[in-house]
Structure 1
Amino acid sequence: MKLSLCMIVKNEETALPGCLQSVVDTVDEIVILDTGSTDKTVEIANQFGAQVYHFPWCDDFSAARNQALEYVSGDWVLVLDADETLVPRMGEKIREAIAVNQDYVLINLLRREVGARQSPYSMVSRLFRRHPQIRFSRPYHAIIDDSVIALLQREPDWQIGHLTDVAILHSGYTPSAIASQNKFATAQAIMEKFLAEHPNDSYTCSKLGALYVELGKCAEGIDLLKRGIASKQANTDVMYELHYHLGIAYTRVQDYAQAISHYQAATKLLVYPMLKLAAYNNLGNLYKETGNLTAAKSAYEMAIKIDPYFATGNYNLGMVLKEMKLYTDAIKAYQRALQVNPYFADAYQNLGVTWLKVGNVEASMIAFQKAIALHEKSNPLEAVRLRQGLQEMGFSLTKFKSVGGL
């Protein structure tokens, strides 16, 4: 089976090398459609042996992606953006999946959102069979899903699968990336234009509604997200996103009862479990905020059951266990968080607090030392505050030797 990488790019000289390096040994051809770069993007693409084509930008991602598909010759297509990389060793699993599953027309891939403030995972339709009826739709957040659904209705023997391991790392929604590329403004303008012509499109209601909430336009976001649910056009994955983002929106306006209701609705939907991670975590935060510690503990435990390596979930569980005075269990939760993320300053700090509560001063001071060292790099004021607080309590960190490096 011949596998083609298909990309659209513009001024991606910084990110593109890492993207192409991650996939060059997996794919049989690289097809890149440049939409007007003025930097070294095209030169870099040529260095990786890519076939480079050009397309004038027209504020329509689906138009560009569909043009790129015209140049692809492989049996299967893998679509990446320049701010994405293929996880090491996933290339072999992708090759195996397309070779073995002859009835699959689409294999969904799990993507981790690096640095995202909300949902850490998403399922993306980026690996599909080259078929004349599979095309992208929607000018922003372009997807092939609509055409795949239409194809399955005409040819029901085709199947859709997914790979369970994280396949793609995406760094495009970190705050710095959003600011540098003005992504919010571009997204808003394109989606608003599309929604004016398709007012009940549930997918766009979800994406644009979530964007409004992110921009602080919570009332507009809530109205749009509720419109998406009321349209009754949303599939299960989109319905999950609608409820999830309503949970965020109502939290922002401090309507916690509504927020909890929508997070609960999201967690009950039959979507891939990893996608529910953030909903359970946010639900736990709300329960903790409203004083329902038992429910918060259960929500965090569900998040960790889905992903035992979810550092934030383990940390949050430690926080609620500490508040419940279950100190031994809290210590274990903080330690699990630190096993996953050894640079988690707040986890060290609260581990120090909890060790102190159970009378282990030496372990407490060692944890505080590590917390201060990490805070000094990222949050110097907190490092000063923590050090002064310990001194005021009569503790001298110099008496205790930290074990292990950072």
Structure 2
Amino acid sequence: VDTGSKDKTIEVARRFGARVGHFEWCDDFAAARNESLRLATGDWVMWLDADDRLPAEYVDTIRSLIAGPRDRSYFFVLDDQGYESVSCLQMRLFPNLEGVCFEMPIHEQVTPSLAKLGVEMISTPVRVVHTGYTTPEVVSAKKDRYLRIMESWLEKHPGDYIVRSHVALTYHSTGRLEAAAEQYRLIIEDSDCRRDRNIVILTTSLLFLGRTWQNLGDFDVALGWLRQAEEVDENYVLTQFSLAEVLLELGQAAEASHYAQGLLARDSEQLSFFPIDQRELRYATLHVLGRAQAGLGQVEEAAQALRQASEVPVARRSEALGHLSDIYKEAGKRDAAFTTLSEALGIDPQHPRHLFNIGMLHLEAGAFEDSRQHFEQVLKVVGEGRTDARMRALLNLGFIAKTQGDVDGAEARYLEVLSLEPEHSDARANLGHLYLSAGRYADAVTRFEEVLAAESGLLDIELGLLSALLALGRWEPERARQVLTSVPESGAVPGELSLPAASAPFLRLGAALTRRNLPRCAEMAFLIALGGGLEESPVSADALRAHRCLGELYLNQRRLWDAIPQFEAVLRGAPDDSEAFRRLGDTYARIGVEDAARMCYARAES
């Protein structure tokens, strides 16, 4: 039956001896197929579309089926081998009986009429290869076309819960999650689905309502719907897998692992009327299992599962190794993390997340050039435009430039982030700190105030703003009071918080922030205790402590040339301080200035 082809389809069909019928297209696939049934004269009907291929190896099987009784019909396995690789069961072979017809305008079904006639339906191993969904663009166009037809159908047939289920799934797969949730709710609560005991539609509606809420980020609600789907059909693989995913997100790693292991223990693939990519399902199940085992502290078992996942032939298999690298890193196994991430890049050299993460490993190891190269590669891979991956890479490139003393380069990177997202708080904050360290205090104030206008109470920004204002000769005692009271370990705050009176509490604040491992914040607190570090502070006990603390801070951060003047400042105030001489000697020794180090050690012993 030709529905309006404009190529040589009819000519080719007739050349091969086909009897050609004509049907005027009316946005109803069932009506077109029923016209083909009206014209059919044989005892059996087997249908194929123009983009279907039936492998020759199944011809004998089909001949044996149609040699049997006509009180049964047969499902074939439809293998979609276009853009998406999925498989499902479809009724493709049935007896040509009075009353057999297709129903529904899209995703048309002949099984309801066969059921009414009492025809047995049997699964077979016969496979049909479908090649129509060749690209994402083709898939998207067909979804849009089919959705318009189905929505129009529902306006006239609002009780058709089967068509509604296809509408809901289209909404779900195209990201219209709230609309999908409403359609699934209508099927579950307001249709005849339960009364008709349509287990397939009920199960998939409960399942995908759960998955819709999962995608919306409400995992508790998702779990409730998935539990209901499990009650209807406890063996459905997509329900079991979705439960594993959601339970993992809810921190219930043991139960998630149980569901994943149950899926992997199945002897054979489960085929259903819903398209499933079996390789993707196996990959994702192993991935969830590995993450769950890691959450239970079973690192070796997690590694085994994730490595098995990486061997499943799917496009994203490298991501399993990327996640394993994260697990190793969290466990303190940095060498294993690096090796595993390198393996992931060997599978997918252009994967932006792998490139970024290996850049971070180099950065944390102080290998700035290797780190820079990987972040630059991220920029090339993701291209121009506003993406999180691009902005994260730019922020880290800015940090590297700043660390290497390239203020202009760092500024350019941060400003590029702001060109992509003008209110990006991290870019504004980093610019503020960059300007502060470069002595551009007015610019620093502007950036810090922008950040605080969007979110108040950020300690590093408040300290940066105080430092920049102090450098401009402005002291704001109330702002200083708020900063000190936000950290209880700072101790009592004097009633009148003049700059000299602030020295002791800001020293305590710096010490507290050092214990909290917040070195940048601690540094700013110590500098404020010194009156901003703009000029020589009076040689007081507080000043000596501040210089000593800064020296230790810089030494621990390997900022050796910054540490030297701090220890020297201590010695100017306390020329016989043996500990300051010893730490100054340690600093020179790490730089490699051995003569200066020996001299300092000698003074420390004298």
Q: What TM-score comes out, normalization by structure 2 length?
A: 0.50
* Contact kept in structure 2, 1:106 and 1:129, CA below 8 Å: yes
Cα separation, 2, equivalents of 1:370 and 1:196: 54
* Contact kept in structure 1, 2:74 and 2:92, CA below 8 Å: yes
Q: What's the counterpart of residue 290 of structure 2?
A: 318
Task: Choose the corresponding residue for 1:376, options 327, 342, 349.
Answer: 349
State the shift of 1:372 in Å. Answer: 0.8
Q: What's the counterpart of residue 68 of structure 1?
A: 36
Task: Choose the corresponding residue for 1:341, options 310, 313, 318.
Answer: 313
Cα separation, 1, equivalents of 2:249 and 2:360: 25
1:288-307 to 2 correspondence within 5 Å? 288-306=248-266
Q: Which runs of 5 or more structure 1 residues have no equivalent in the other structure?
A: 1-32, 153-157, 397-406
State the shift of 1:131 in Å. Answer: 1.9
Are 1:159 and 2:132 counterparts?
no
Cα separation, 1, equivalents of 2:288 and 2:131: 24
Task: Choose the corresponding residue for 2:172, options 201, 213, 218.
Answer: 213
* Contact kept in structure 1, 2:169 and 2:180, CA below 8 Å: yes
* Contact kept in structure 1, 2:321 and 2:344, CA below 8 Å: yes
3-state SS of 1:161 partner: strand
Q: What's the counterpart of residue 226 of structure 1?
A: 185
Q: What's the counterpart of residue 30 of structure 1?
A: none
Task: Choose the corresponding residue for 2:221, options 217, 237, 258.
Answer: 258
Quick check: 287-296 or 303-312, which moved more? 303-312
Give the superposed CA RMSD: 3.6
Q: What's the counterpart of residue 285 of structure 1?
A: 245
3-state SS of 1:37 partner: coil
Are 1:388 and 2:359 counterparts?
yes
State the shift of 1:61 in Å. Answer: 0.5
State the shift of 1:78 in Å. Answer: 2.8
User: CA distance change for structure 1 residues 248 and 363 in 2, over 3 Å: closer, same or farther?
Assistant: closer
User: CA distance change for structure 1 residues 267 and 112 in 2, over 3 Å: closer, same or farther?
Assistant: farther
1:176-195 to 2 correspondence within 5 Å? 176-179=137-140, 182-195=141-154
Q: What's the counterpart of residue 11 of structure 1?
A: none
Q: Which runs of 5 or more structure 2 residues have no equivalent in the other structure?
A: 270-278, 371-606
3-state SS of 1:298 partner: helix
Letter in 2 for 1:319: R
* Contact kept in structure 2, 1:287 and 1:295, CA below 8 Å: yes
Cα separation, 2, equivalents of 1:291 and 1:342: 27
* Contact kept in structure 2, 1:373 and 1:383, CA below 8 Å: no
* Contact kept in structure 1, 2:180 and 2:212, CA below 8 Å: yes
State the shift of 1:267 in Å. Answer: 2.9
State the shift of 1:265 in Å. Answer: 2.3
Task: Choose the corresponding residue for 1:128, options 91, 94, 102.
Answer: 94
Quick check: 342-351 or 254-263, which moved more? 342-351
**Identity %, equivalent residues:** 25
Are 1:239 and 2:189 counterparts?
no
State the shift of 1:355 in Å. Answer: 6.9
User: CA distance change for structure 1 residues 168 and 262 in 2, over 3 Å: closer, same or farther?
Assistant: farther
User: CA distance change for structure 1 residues 355 and 322 in 2, over 3 Å: closer, same or farther?
Assistant: same
User: CA distance change for structure 1 residues 291 and 359 in 2, over 3 Å: closer, same or farther?
Assistant: closer
User: CA distance change for structure 1 residues 93 and 142 in 2, over 3 Å: closer, same or farther?
Assistant: same
3-state SS of 2:108 partner: coil
Cα separation, 2, equivalents of 1:249 and 1:195: 21
Cα separation, 2, equivalents of 1:348 and 1:79: 44
Q: What's the counterpart of residue 147 of structure 1?
A: 113
Q: Which protein is richer in helix relative to its size?
A: 2
Cα separation, 1, equivalents of 2:332 and 2:238: 31
Cα separation, 2, equivalents of 1:246 and 1:90: 38
Cα separation, 1, equivalents of 2:232 and 2:59: 30
* Contact kept in structure 2, 1:200 and 1:227, CA below 8 Å: no
1:6-53 Cα distance to aligned partner (Å, 9 max, x none): xxxxxxxxxxxxxxxxxxxxxxxxxxx332223465566678775554
Cα separation, 2, equivalents of 1:228 and 1:285: 24
Q: What's the counterpart of residue 249 of structure 1?
A: 212
Q: What's the counterpart of residue 156 of structure 2?
A: 197
State the shift of 1:303 in Å. Answer: 2.8
* Contact kept in structure 2, 1:331 and 1:355, CA below 8 Å: no
State the shift of 1:212 in Å. Answer: 2.8
3-state SS of 2:149 partner: helix
State the shift of 1:59 in Å. Answer: 0.6
User: CA distance change for structure 1 residues 382 and 74 in 2, over 3 Å: closer, same or farther?
Assistant: farther
Cα separation, 1, equivalents of 2:144 and 2:156: 19
Cα separation, 1, equivalents of 2:9 and 2:349: 37
3-state SS of 2:158 partner: coil
Q: What's the counterpart of residue 569 of structure 2?
A: none
* Contact kept in structure 1, 2:310 and 2:319, CA below 8 Å: no
Cα separation, 2, equivalents of 1:318 and 1:134: 49
Cα separation, 2, equivalents of 1:392 and 1:54: 68
User: CA distance change for structure 1 residues 85 and 216 in 2, over 3 Å: closer, same or farther?
Assistant: same
1:106-126 Cα distance to aligned partner (Å, 9 max, x none): 222344556898x95533222
1:377-401 Cα distance to aligned partner (Å, 9 max, x none): 5x3x2343244244346599xxxxx
Cα separation, 2, equivalents of 1:131 and 1:141: 21
3-state SS of 1:341 partner: coil
3-state SS of 1:340 partner: coil
1:195-240 Cα distance to aligned partner (Å, 9 max, x none): 2222222212211222233344434332322222232335111111
1:105-120 to 2 correspondence within 5 Å? 105-112=72-79
3-state SS of 1:122 partner: strand
Letter in 2 for 1:76: W
Cα separation, 2, equivalents of 1:201 and 1:336: 43
User: CA distance change for structure 1 residues 258 and 359 in 2, over 3 Å: closer, same or farther?
Assistant: closer
3-state SS of 1:333 partner: helix
State the shift of 1:143 in Å. Answer: 0.6
